[in-house]
Amino acid sequence: MPSQNHRLPSTIRAIFLLACAGLASCIPLPPAPAPAPAPAAPAAMPAPAWQRQGVHLLHIAPEESLLTITVRRGGALARLGHDHVVASRSLQGVVAPAPGRAQFRFRLDEMSVDEASLRQAAGLTTMPSADAIAGTRQNMLVRVLEAERYPWVNIEARRTGDKEVLEADITLHGVTRTLQLPVRIEQAADGRRLQASGSLLLKQSDFGIVPFAVLGGAMAVQDQMELAFRITARQELSAPGSGASPGR
């Protein structure tokens, strides 16, 4: 029978590997050498190329709008990690109901990570610790999305022959892809308010993004992610940085 002394090193190694696996997907990067400068005021959003004089525009109301992205864990040790929900509540842009056009964007560094209510809505039953959430956000912005280099996600959508499908140009990480976007649109009778909602599946690799992975891929983020949105646009809103004036 092996002695207790012979078993000890292998036991320590096993404990060490499990500890690394449990923390790997949420390891924060080392702190920056100096505090980051205060964020600058939002840059004005350029007016859409399709905007014309007299076109009736609605402005996106960020306080009534929400965009979420759900990413799921993968790899042989996936059970030791967490799925995550990131969200933007700061959408800005315009919608033109008559020609069926919309243009909006959001900043990656303004997205939240793992709000409890959004995790519950996504059917995620566990809740990461505050430190794990902070580490996930840091890894997402710095190592995966390179948010300092590519701070904005831009989406331009247009109506197709199918009233429940929009064609959308999504620019993320410096790459633009054109996708079919299923959407449900509800518009007030007076035309002063519109709400659009829908979801679609995206692949990170389609935008030149390498999904986060550690331990040789034993713990990883799946390439596929789900984008869901609920956007409200109103005529009376004067949205800073929208780059256009409400239609008369």
Cα–Cα dist 99/54, whole Å: 12
Please check whether residue 180 is in contact with residue 202, taking contact to mean a CB–CB distance below 8 angstroms.
no
Model pLDDT, residue 236: 65
In a domain, 137, yes or no: yes
Domain count, the chain: 1
Q: Is residue 198 part of a domain?
A: yes
In a domain, 199, yes or no: yes
Q: Scanning the structure block, which residue is given the tokens 């990067």?
A: 29
User: What are the average pLDDT values for consecutive 10-residue runs of the chain, which has 248 residues?
Assistant: 49 41 39 41 66 84 96 74 91 93 95 95 90 90 92 94 91 96 92 94 94 74 93 72 40
pLDDT at res. 134: 92
CATH code at 211? 2.40.128.110
Longest dimension (CA), the chain: 88
DSSP at 192: S
For residue 26, tell me if it sits in a domain.
no
Task: Give the range of the structural domain holding residue 175, as residue numbers without chain letter.
Answer: 55-234
Q: Tell whether 22 is covered by a domain.
A: no
What's the predicted TM-score (pTM) here? Answer: 0.74
pLDDT of residue 66: 97
